[in-house]
Each structure stands twice: as C-alpha cells, then as structure tokens.
C-alpha cells in the first residue's frame, strides 16, 4: 500500500477502483481505498426519473445484465441490475451505485471525488443542475469533507452546474474534459470558469502544460497505466493522473 499524500490529487482511482473491481460500483471504491487511494473519479448520469447514479456508457450491455439505454429506465429498475458479474463471479450481484451511496462513502472516509457528468442526449443542462444541487446539499450536511470537483466533456452541462451552484451560493471546482488540445479548448475552459483541464495524456507536451498553467488552470491527465509515462507526465508538471492500475503509485519515481 502506498501512503496518500494528503489531498494533492496526484493519484486518482479511475472509475472508483481501476481494473481491480467492476467499474463505478461501491466494490470499486472499496478496492481503491484499500489500495491507499484517497481520490476517486466516477461517471454520473441520470435515470429516467432524475436519480443520479454511476455508469460510464449510455447503454447497459457492457457492464450490467441488461440491454438498452440507461436513460430510459427508472432508478427502481436500475438498482436491481447486476453490475458485477461481467467482471467476475465473486462480484456477482454487485449493484449499480447511486450518487448518494458514493457521497456516503466519501463522507465516511473524507476522501475526494471527481464526479464526471455523463449526460444523455438532450439532458446536459438537467444533469448539471441535478448533480450540482445534490452535491451542494450534501456539502452543507458534511462540511468537513473535501469539496468534489465536477468535470465533463459537455460544456453545456458544466455551464448549467455553474449556474445552479451560483444560485445556491456554493463554490465547487469545475474541469473541462477533452480528448485533444488546441487553443479553443483552453479558451473554452477559461470561459466556463473552470479551475482545471483534464486531457488524454497523449495530448500533452511540456509546452502545452506550461501554456495551460500560465492560464491559471490545473492539469490532470487520463488514463495513465505505465510507470514511465507517469514519471514523464509528473516531470511535465501535471497535478494529477487518473489510473486503472492501483499498484502504479509505488512504482513511480517522482
């Protein structure tokens, strides 16, 4: 086990527990925590009746025992699905996690969350508002827990989240996610009032890292699973890395 370095967010468990457990489940978060991680990323979408829950894909087939679009089902139905058997027999019966369950996990352990907004088509604004509103209420109930970060590939979802936070006089950091990088990406992040850019690691160079930092933004990269890559990225100045490999941190000299 490695010793977490406070909340500097250098090491972030991807989808809760990386490749150690079925993604975006409570089992994944427990695996990440047991490995020493204190910062976690997960994907949040809305059910048909507006309940925020964890799922990466728009459809259910890859990581549950159901098929079809997730957005068309109510939470009462979604919560009955098996989200663990696809990964391995010992996780059979593991349920989809609600956002509330993950917030409870974070409150009990005082860990940091990166909640990635994954809106269904046409639901970007609604997703941003619902998640920001729920997290605001939770933070008022749990003032000693680190404030989560909201990230998304969807600028519209982030704008809606920012508006909901402003209405409730709450501040949460925002991050724009991008698979590529150019000057428009940087302008968009700044216009959103984001505190960070989250990029695919292959899109990063030392020069780009300097440009992003000069604009006042933090820089985190996904998904880093090899020690030489991690060492190089840390030398370039990235603040954090999302990883599937829970054994990676102690193998990186940085």
Model pLDDT, residue 4: 47
Cα separation, 244 vs 231, whole angstroms: 16
Beta pairing class for 149-152 and 52-54: unpaired
Structure tokens at 43: 């994907």
The dotted CATH code for 11-251 is 3.20.20.190
Please give the positions annotated as active site.
Answer: 14, 56
In the predicted model, what is the mean pLDDT of residues 105-113? 97
111-153 pLDDT, tens per residue? Answer: 999 999 999 999 999 999 999 999 999 999 998 899 999 999 9
Residues 208-226: tens digit of each pLDDT = 999 999 999 999 999 999 9
- Report, as an integer, the average pLDDT of 101-117: 97
Q: Given this model, what pLDDT does residue 2 score?
A: 47
**What's the sign of the alpha-carbon dihedral 193, 43, 111, 229?**
negative
pLDDT of 8 higher than 70: no
Give the Cα separation of 101 and 51 in Å (integer): 12
Question: Do residues 129 and 160 touch, judged by C-beta distance below 8 A?
Answer: yes
Average pLDDT score over residue span 32-54: 97
Does 7 score more than 90 pLDDT? no
- The mean of the pLDDT values for the chain is 95
Which long-range contacts (C-beta less than 8 Å, at least 24 apart) are formed by 1-8? 1/34, 1/35, 1/36, 2/35, 2/36, 2/249, 2/250, 3/36, 4/36, 4/37, 4/38, 4/39, 7/38, 7/39, 7/112, 7/146, 8/239, 8/240
Per-residue model confidence (pLDDT) at position 1: 39
pTM of the model: 0.96
**What pLDDT was estimated at residue 9?**
78
């Amino acid at each position: 086990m490695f010793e977490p370095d406070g909340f500097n967010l250098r090491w972030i468990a991807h989808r809760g527990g990386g490749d150690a457990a079925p993604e975006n489940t409570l089992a994944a978060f427990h695996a990440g925590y047991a490995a020493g991680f204190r910062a976690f990323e997960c994907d949040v979408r809305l059910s048909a009746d507006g309940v925020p829950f964890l799922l990466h894909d728009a459809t259910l087939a890859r990581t549950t025992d159901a098929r079809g679009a997730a957005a068309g089902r109510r939470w009462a139905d979604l919560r009955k699905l098996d989200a663990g058997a696809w990964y391995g027999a010992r996780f059979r019966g593991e349920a989809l996690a609600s956002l509330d369950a993950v917030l409870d996990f974070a409150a009990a352990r005082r860990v940091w969350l990166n909640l990635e907004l994954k809106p269904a088509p046409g639901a970007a604004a609604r997703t941003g508002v619902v998640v920001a509103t729920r997290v605001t209420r939770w933070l008022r109930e749990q003032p000693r827990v680190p404030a989560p970060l909201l990230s998304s590939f969807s600028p519209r979802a982030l704008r809606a989240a920012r508006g909901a936070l402003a209405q409730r006089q709450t501040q949460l950091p925002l991050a724009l996610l991008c698979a590529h990088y150019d000057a428009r990406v940087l302008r968009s992040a700044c216009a959103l009032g984001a505190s960070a850019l989250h990029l695919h690691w292959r899109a990063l160079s030392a020069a780009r890292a300097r440009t992003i930092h000069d604009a006042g933004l933090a820089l985190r990269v996904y998904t880093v699973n090899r020690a030489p890559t991690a060492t190089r990225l840390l030398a370039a100045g990235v603040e954090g890395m999302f990883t599937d490999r829970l054994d990676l941190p102690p193998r990186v000299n940085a």
